[in-house]
Every structure is written in C-alpha cells, then in structure tokens.
Structure 1
Amino acid sequence: MTPAEVVAGTYRRIRERGDDGVWISLRREADVLRDLDGLDPALPLYGVPFAVKDNVDVAGMPTTAACPAFAYRPECSAPLVDRLVAAGALLVGKTNLDQFATGLSGTRTPYGACESPLVPGLISGGSSSGSAVAVAAGLVPFAIGTDTAGSGRVPAALTGTVGLKPSRGLVPTLGVVPACRSLDCASVFARTVADATAVLRVIAGPHTGDPWSRTPPPRKPGGGPSTRIGVPRTPEFFGDGAAAEAFAAVTERLAGLGHEIVPVDLTPFLAAGRLLYEGPWLAERLAGVGDFAARHARDLHPVTRRVLDSGRSISGEEVFGGLHRLRELRAATEAEWARIDALAVPTVPTTFTLAEMAEDPIGRNTILGHYTTFANLLDLAAVAVPAGLTPAGRPHGVTFLAPAGSDDFLATLGAGFLGEKDPVPGASAGGTVPLAVVGAHRVGQPLHPHLVALGASFAAVARTAPCYRLYDLGDRPGLVREEGGSSVEVELHEIEPAALGELLVTIPAPLGLGTVELSDGRRVRGFLCEAYAVGSARDITGLGSWPAYLAAGRA
C-alpha cells in the first residue's frame, strides 16, 4: 500500500466507528495527505499515521487536557511531536483522556468514555484511554500517551495493546500538560513491542530547555545464563479468581521460556505506590493546574475536582515526610533488585465495566493502579504486553519492570514473551559500535531521522577530551582537534558497523568520520572536520555544544 492509501484507510475506519469517544480533535484528511509532499521515503516512520493524547501540544491545534474551559492553542509542538513528524510520521489527531491525566479508568472526561474494543461495556483504562483504543481498534499503528501512575500501562492491558513506559526523562516532557511533573513520562501504544521500540528510538534523547530531561545510564541484567524474573510472592487480585488463573499461566509461560522465577515480597513496592494518591504527591498535581482548578471548579469533572482538592490541605512538613519515606522504601527495594533482573506483575489485578466504575470511581481507580503506581516513584522503566483473556473472558496483561536505563532489556524481554523477534538494535551477531555525534545528526536536529533510519540508537550524552574546538560552518558545526582546545559535548549513538559505512558516504566535505577521544579516555568513531575549512569560521567552543549555540540564537 502507498502512504496515501494507508491514510485513506485510517480515515475510513475512523468514519466507520462513528462517535466512539476516541478523538477530541481530528485533522482534515486532505491536510494529512499534504504532509506527504516532499517526504523522504527513507525516513524511519515514513507515511505512518499516529495520534497523540490531548495533553500533548501540537502547534495550531487546541490542547484541552479533556477540559474544554482549559483549552489553548500552542504556537509550538512538544519536542516529541516534532521528532515524530521529522521522522516522517503523519499526525491524524488528538485523543481522549481522563481529565488532566488524573485517573486510570478512562471515564473522567466530558468527551464521553471510550470502551475497550475487546469486551462490550468494559472500560478502556486511563488516563490515555483514547490513544490505547485508537491502536487497539486499528485506527492508527501507534499513539502517544503519558504515564504518571500507570496511564501508559493500564489501558494497554484493557485493550490488548503494548504499552511502553520509558525511563523517566528519556523522552522530553516539554509541551506536555503536567500531572505530577517530577514523575511524568511520555508513553507509546502499539500492536507490537517492535513497533513501540521503533517509535521510542525516534522520540528518546535529551532536549535543551527541558529541566526534567536526562539520560539514564544503560543497565543490563546481572544474572547468569537465564533471566531472573521476580513475581509477587502473594499476588492480590481483589477476588478475581479468573485473573489469578491467568497470571499463574503467565508465570508458567515465563518458566517455560527458560527464565528463573523468583518470588518477591512486594510490600515496599506497594507502599511506595500508595504515596502517589494517599501522600504528598497529590499536592504536586496542583502545581500544574491548581490555579485554573481553583478559578474554574465548575468546569472540572466532579471526580477530578475531588482528587485535586484533596491536595490542598497537604503541608510542607507532609511533603518532606513523604520524600523521606520514599527514600526508605526505595532502599528497601534495592535488596530485591540484587536478586532479580526484572519484575513481572499483572498489569491490573482485575477489570471493571463502565457501570461498575461509576459505582465507586475512586476506590476502583485505586485497585486498577495496584501494580502500576510505584513505577515512577521508584524510578523504574516498564513495558506492558497483552497476555490473552482470563477464563472469564476479560483481557489480561503482564508488565515487566526494571530500574531506569533498562529500556532495551525490557523490550527484549517483552518481545520474547510475545514470541516476537528481538526489537533492540544491535541484537545481531555483529554487535554495534559507539558513534560520537556533534551537530545536525543529534536528537531533535534535522538529520537525526536519517541516523535512526540506519538503525542507530541513542545511548548517552558525553564530552570530548579537552583538546577540541567547535566551529559554525553555517548549517552545521565542525569539530576539530586542536592544541589548547576544550571539552565539547557530544551524543553517543550505537550503530552497526555496516550502517556506519552507509553513513560515511553521505557525509559531505569538509566533514567526515574519524576517531574522537572522550573525557573518560575512550576513543570512538565520530564526526570531525578537516582543519582547512575552519580558517574563517566562527569559533563557538565557549558555548560547549551545538544545541547550546542554537539556543543562544547564534548571537
């Protein structure tokens, strides 16, 4: 199929479903087709339609966070959206959510609750309800959500999709309406782990100006030949015997795949999770939207208003008490991570219909988050994958978690559970090599999608040894090794040797690939400039990096 045919099919399926509660705003089909003009077919997401949750900014489109009175039209898109569009993806529209991303049910919205496509009358889960259903119903191949308490994982379980929650800070959250800013993550919904991982490779990486952006050091499991997977020693299903049977089958399947099953005491994990809705982090929700909520109480969903109001009485003493308690609980979980490589838990302990959710919206919301709310508080990465249906015919899912930096490892683990090919770049026998990237190929820069198309994967930010100078060559920088130089910031990307050769023939003179010495003594392949070309070029070494120079307005 051509990209135009894919777009036509997307809009046909959207029309066929009618008013399903998935969309808050849709772009015109003709405008999406116009985006195809001039797109490079070599881009990694060329012609792939996608949707974003409506708490993520898209230039010119309203951001509502599922509250019409809150709506505004941003001038700039969130960096993650810009990266997807630069990689060739086609934005279709913005999806429904629990208002202000506060909830896990998908029912706290004035735009109508969208139900799971798997079981009539079943909630889709939230807060990223519309994004999950858009993928589950086959409307778009992938969609962007967010995940603070489990909003990128609970809907995945209830709709039979993959929900990838990266390490905190790996994907910029600039341009995302905050829920709890210190915990917020962007998330990806897709039909396969491979698709979700391909999207993450495009949107991951630091962004200048985002104070929460970071690069967690890559973490690899420390076990022996088999992966040590922890499972709850006494799992809780809140009376759902069918869900208990389904998770027992998951555990058997993991053991059958050759993993070592290790019972884990989840007490400190669950205690940390309770802090999110029973502790001082309720007050952090007010830091983002509290002033608006105070002025527009009548415009809020009643349950959202109750949740936000509960944070107004929290004192500074309680905030610090919660922070101290979290540190204690995090230390308690370290003993378990010494015994296991990953944790496998039911994504949700049970499921609810729309009617059941309406009977007890807060209590049942707490149950839905039983196995999800601790992840970001404990700085864990996660991937939620479908695990079939329970004997009662309800969807069941399993989530794999591990400390921040384990994103590639978790993708491999989740793909293996589903019987997919390993989606992590560099899994081939040849392995990968590090590449030091200086300017136009960095994350968020114009040529980064071409690097992604070659299979490169962002690894870390680093600095050169103090023997280089950086120059402005016009549309890109030139890094030259010179006596009396300084340390310059670079990005490290992992790339297969064969792809490195393909990259080399595309680099115009006076740039090329050579050996770059890093501040830690390592010598890696990297972009360098021939010295003859910088005679009259502007020396920008003092600003430390190409993004910093651009941010300063090239003044």
Structure 2
Amino acid sequence: MSTTLSRVRAAYARVEATGRPEIWIDLRPQSEVEAEARAIDARVALGEPLPLAGRLVAAKGNIDVAGLPTTAGCPSYAYHPEADAPVVARLRAAGAIVLGTTNLDQFATGLVGTRSPYGAVRNAHDPSRISGGSSSGSAVAVALGIVDLALGTDTAGSGRVPAAFNGIVGLKPTRGLVPTTGVVPACASLDCVTVFARTLPEAEQALAYMASPPDRDLPPLPQRAPGPWRVAVPAREQLGELDEGWAEAYEAAVAQLIASGASVRTLDLTPFTEAAAMLYQGAFVAERYTAVGAFVDKEAAAGGADLDPTVAGIITRARDIPAHQLYADTERLAALRTRALAELADADALLLPTAPGHPTLADVAADPLGANARLGRFTNSTNLFDLAAVAVPSGEVNGLPFGVMLIGPAFTDDRLARIAALLQPETRLAVVGAHLTGQPLNPQLLALGARLDHTTTTASVYRLHALPTDPPKPGLVHVGEGGAPVETEVWRLPADGLGRLLTALPRPMTLGRVELADGTSVPGFLCEPTALTNAEDITAYGGWRSYLNAE
C-alpha cells in the first residue's frame, strides 16, 4: 500500500477510535481524501518534489478550505469559499492533505474551547479539563495523533494556550509573516495564522511553506552581541497566582535553559501584564464588533439560536465603546510597548508559562469570563506589542502537560525556535513492526510527538518472527551469525516520551540497542527469545511490511 494512502486510512481509523466528534466541524469523505492520497503518491513516484507529501492537516473552522463551508463556529454564518485560503493552498502545494475543518470558540473569541454550538472540545489527556481555545479542535487533532499539522489563529493566545494544555508545539509567527486572507477575522489588525505540531522541527517546516516575505518595513534588528542566548524571566512574585506545581515546573524550565548554556536575567513584567488586561477590558475589543458585529446583531434579533451567549455578549458590548476611549488606549498601549521593549533590551527572548493554570470544564462553566481572562495573563499582550512567540511542552504537572512560551521582537521567529529547541531534548527509536508508518500502533509514537527521521535496515545480525499477538506484530531477535538485514524506521521523539513508551510496553517486547546498517546503534524494540516458540521466521521477507503484503 502506498505511504500516503496508508497514513490517510490510519487517520480515519484514529478518528473512529478516539471517539471525539467535537473536534470536527466538517470532515472530508474518506474516499475523496484517499483519491487525493493516491494522486500525491503518483506524483512523488514520478519524481515531483513534494516536501510535505503524506503530511495530514486540519484547518481551524474560520479558515477557508475549498469544498467545505467556513463557519467560524456558527452554523448560520457559514459560507462556501471558492478557493483555499493562501495558507491552506501553500501547504497543499507542498504535498500536504487536508482532512477537514475543526471546532473553535465561536468567531475565535475565547481561550477555553467550550464556546461552540458544535460542543465543548475536551482535553486530549484529561476529558474533564478544557482543551484551550479558540483553536481547540486543531490542537486536539494533533495531540491525539490524527493529523501531523493543524492550522489555528492567535489573537490573544489561541495558538499557544491549546498547545500548552495538550502537550504540543504552537508557533505564533510575527504578525503579517503568514497571510490572513481567507480567514474570518477576530481582530483583523492583531490576528495571526498559527501552526500546531507534535515537534518543533515539524512546526518550523510547515511555517516555512506558509510564510510570505515581510509585508512591511521594520527598523533593522539590533545586532546581537556574541555569546550565549540571553533569556529574560520575571521575578517569581510577578507571575501571580499559578496552579499547584506550575511555579516549580516553570523554574525547572528556567534551570534547563541555564543547563543548556543560556544566560538568564530578570525583567519587570508589569508592562506586559498591564497591556494584557487592556485587550478585553479596554477599547481594542471593539474591533471584534467590526468583524462580525452586524451579523451577531441580526442573528440575536432573530432569536440567536446558533450564537454562543458568552461570545455574543462580548461582541455586542463592544459596539458601544466610545471612540475617545480607543484613542486614549492606543496612547497608553504605545507607552507600555516602549517600556516592554526597554525591559527586553538585549535579551533574545522572554520565557513565561504559557498560561497560569489549567481549568476543568466545570470551572469554566461556573465562571466563563473570569476563567478565560485568567488564561490570557501571559499571552494577551504579544500581538498588541507586535511580538513573535513559540509555545512548547516542558514536562508535566500531576500527570498533565505543562508548557512554556518564548516571546521576542517581530521577525525573530527563527531565533525563538532555536532557543525553544533547548527545551526539547530528543532521542531516537528504531521500529520494525506494528509501530511503522501506517501500522496500527504508529499513533502511539505520534501521540508522543515522534517524527520519522529516516528508513534504513538493521545490521545483518537479526532474525524477524511473526508473533501470535493482537494486533499482529513481529519480534526482532539478535542472533549474530546467520542474521539478515531487516527494514527499519528510525524515529525521533522527546526524551521523556521514550520513558513513557517503555512503561507501557507489554511483554514479550523489550527495549534495547538495535544495530543499524551504517554501524550506529539506537534504542529499539526487541523481543524476548522465549516468545519465539511456534512463531514463524519471516526474515526472508526483509521486513514486516513485505511479509504483510505477501500474506
């Protein structure tokens, strides 16, 4: 079976297995996507360069995907775009395949992921907790291993908070670096299209195809003095109230940067938090009324059956903000931005927790506005100050993902990614069977943030056997003389992911060093010799996939 086709079928099987219909607004028919997959594989076979061939993508429901309605989370608002948004078209041109459009906080208004007539999107790791919004469905689709990449938008943190809550990467590029044409606006002057992925390199690769040349002239960035990365952090008391264990997790991230060679200094976070409060408490929220206010007013007058009441209240209240307040707030914001950039000074980045805590669905239902406002404490100011940001996982607290973000001046996106990589130590893993691309257990790797590095073979010192297990899988055993090369995929995954995989590994499988054809060795799946009784030796087939195809 072709590589892309097998991945598409595995994705639809994963959709069924996860039982999370609230992730999707519209999922394309499987037959249609399979036909597109066959066409992609045929083009690759003819030598066409398609760097994202086989990558599966989901798009937030306020981003145009040709052939699907754009709803922005409101069924009665839906329209049928004639073409993909440029950001979707660029990923498709590189070989990616779009599975469908995802659920969101209606009109991209919220950081919770519960404000939608299509249902609240539950967290990928704990269904009693929120997924984070507004790009909720996109983040969870990536975290559950259904898609490789997903598009979101970020006005106040919607491309970062869901990443933190679901243990994935969220890149919020410099404003204007990625076109917002074909995107239903929340606040048009602040909106950014973002990308989610399980690993930083995957997110960076996607962003490279999504981006345009800078859409504006900026003063040249200050020349960076030689030396280690310089990261600014606030004093502990300026972080405010955090969930239990989150301060310690943040401090561990700071310690990891220092251990990786970064230089850390403190800054005054006050201008950032004061500006964050202005996004909804000040006049800037009026731009949300400009975007969809006329529709919301008309829909409300007709009964508002499709409107989320919290979203509708935010947008309609914004209608009556006086113009003089906008001028006053604009002046105050400019002063705060000057102070914030002075605080950053020669720092390459500011490191913050992505959010101050992770509420439950019940918490948000009890206090929709208060819970949402708290979540934006660290993210709301980023676009107001015209900064770039990247959110990355940074361990766990009480069994749930904890995330941090790095923020820096406009057009320092690459620099932020390089610093973020210091927080993402990786290891390699060799797989020969049910964890191969397209095989039943491959989603386990994807859910851990793994990505395929390359395909090779083992050294000629192994035998491969078909084990009587469910699902069927092979056992790789080191024999020395009398062995043969076996097809192997080498995957890269976060170092802590390998430990999580090992704790869930059932007998007779074990983890050991696997020798590769190039003479190197990496951790990989092996089998206890005692499990080989009555197991068929399938070494002659050269690999598990060849054996299955022959069968």
Residue 103 of structure 2 corresponds to residue 111 of structure 1: no
- Residue number in structure 2 paired with 1:176: 183
Please list the CA deviations of residues 185-220 of structure 1 after superposition, one character each: whole Å capped at 9, or x if unmatched: 00000001100000000010059xxxxx44767857
Inter-partner Cα distance in structure 2 for 1:324 and 1:198: 38
Q: Secondary structure at the match of 2:265?
A: strand
Report the counterpart of residue 210 of structure 2 in structure 1.
203
Hey, what does 2:453 align to over in structure 1? none
On the 8 A contact 2:242/2:356 being kept in 1, the answer is no
Indicate yes or no: 2:167 matched with 1:160: yes
1:240 aligned residue: 243
C-alpha displacement of 1:411: 1.1
Change (3 A) 1:226 1:107: same
Structure 1 segment 235-314 matched on structure 2, within 5 A = 235-297=238-300, 298=304, 299-314=306-321
Asked if structure 1 preserves the Cα contact closer than 8 Å seen for 2:267 and 2:344, the reply is no
Aligned mates of 1:80, 1:389 — CA distance in 2: 32
Secondary structure of the equivalent of 1:183? Answer: coil
Q: Provide the rounded CA distance (Å) in 2 between the counterparts of 1:394 and 1:177.
A: 32
Counterpart code for 2:418: T
> What is residue 25 of structure 2 aligned with on the other side?
24
Mark the runs of 5 or more structure 1 residues left unpaired by the alignment.
208-212, 422-555
Counterpart in 2 of 1:436? none
Residues 446-499 of structure 1, C-alpha deviations (whole Å, 9 max, x = no match): xxxxxxxxxxxxxxxxxxxxxxxxxxxxxxxxxxxxxxxxxxxxxxxxxxxxxx
The residue type paired with residue 403 of structure 2 is G
Where 1:306 maps in the other structure, the secondary structure is helix
Once the two structures are TM-superposed, the CA of residue 252 in structure 1 deviates from its matched residue by 1.2
Q: Residues 98 and 283 (structure 1 numbering): CA distance in 2 closer, same or farther, change over 3 Å?
A: same
C-alpha separation in 1, matches of 2:218 and 2:149? 25
Contact 1:54 1:94 in 2 (8 A): yes
Please tell me the residue identity of whatever aligns with 1:230. Answer: A
Larger CA deviation: 136-145 vs 328-337: 328-337
How many corresponding residue pairs?
Answer: 415
* Aligned CA distance change for structure 1 residues 214 and 78 (closer, same or farther; 3 Å): farther
In structure 2, do the counterparts of structure 1 residues 239 and 375 end up closer, same or farther at CA, with 3 Å as the change threshold?
closer
Give me the TM-score of the superposition, normalised by structure 1. 0.72
Note if 1:230 corresponds to 2:232: yes
Q: Which is worse superposed, 190-199 or 274-283? A: 274-283
Asked if 1 retains the 8 angstrom alpha-carbon contact of 2:349 and 2:408, the reply is yes
What is the aligned counterpart of 1:409 among 415, 422, 433? 415
**Structure 1 residues 241, 16: CA separation in 2 closer, same or farther (over 3 Å shift)?**
closer
- In the TM superposition, what is the alpha-carbon distance from 1:237 to its structure 2 partner? 4.6
| Cα pair 2:271 2:337 within 8 Å, conserved | yes
**1:47 maps to which of 49, 54, 79:** 54
- What are the ranges of 5 or more consecutive residues in structure 2 without an aligned counterpart? 428-551
- Hey, what's the Cα distance between the residues in 2 that align with 1:220 and 1:50? 37
CA contact 2:257–2:422 (8 Å) conserved in 1: no
Partner of 2:357: 350
| Equivalent of 1:393 in 393, 399, 402 | 399
The CA RMSD measured in Å over matched residues stands at 1.7
The change in CA–CA distance for 1:410 and 1:217 in structure 2 (over 3 A counts) is farther
**Measured at CA, do residues 269 and 239 of structure 1 come closer, stay the same or move farther in structure 2, by a change above 3 Å?**
closer
Indicate the larger mover: 317-326 or 137-146.
317-326
Distance 1:191 1:357, change over 3 A: same
Segments of 4+ in structure 1 off by > 4 A? 213-221
1:69 aligns to what? 76
Q: Which residue of 2 aligns with 1:464?
A: none
Please give the secondary structure, in 2, of the residue aligned with 1:326. Answer: helix
For the 8 Å contact 1:53–1:95, the answer to whether it is kept is yes
2:239 partner letter: E
Cα distance change, pair 242–70 in 1 and its aligned pair in 2 (3 A): same
**Alignment of 1:143 onto 2:144:** no
- CA deviation map 1:87-113 (0-9, x unaligned): 110010000000000000000011111
| SS, match of residue 55 in structure 1 | coil
Aligned position for 1:5: 6
Conserved in 1, the CA contact under 8 Å of 2:8 and 2:37? no
In the TM superposition, residue 394 of structure 1 has moved relative to its aligned partner by: 3.3
The AA in structure 2 aligned to 1:35 is E
Separation in 2, partners of 1:199, 1:60? 22
Once residues 105 and 233 of structure 2 are traced to their aligned partners in structure 1, the CA distance between those partners, rounded to angstroms, is 30
Q: Distance in 1 between matches of 2:161 and 2:169?
A: 10
Give the conservation status (yes or no) of the 8 Å contact 1:57–1:175: yes
**Residue 129 of structure 2 aligns to a residue in which SS?**
coil
Is the aligned partner of 1:84 residue 2:91? yes
Shift of 1:221: 6.9
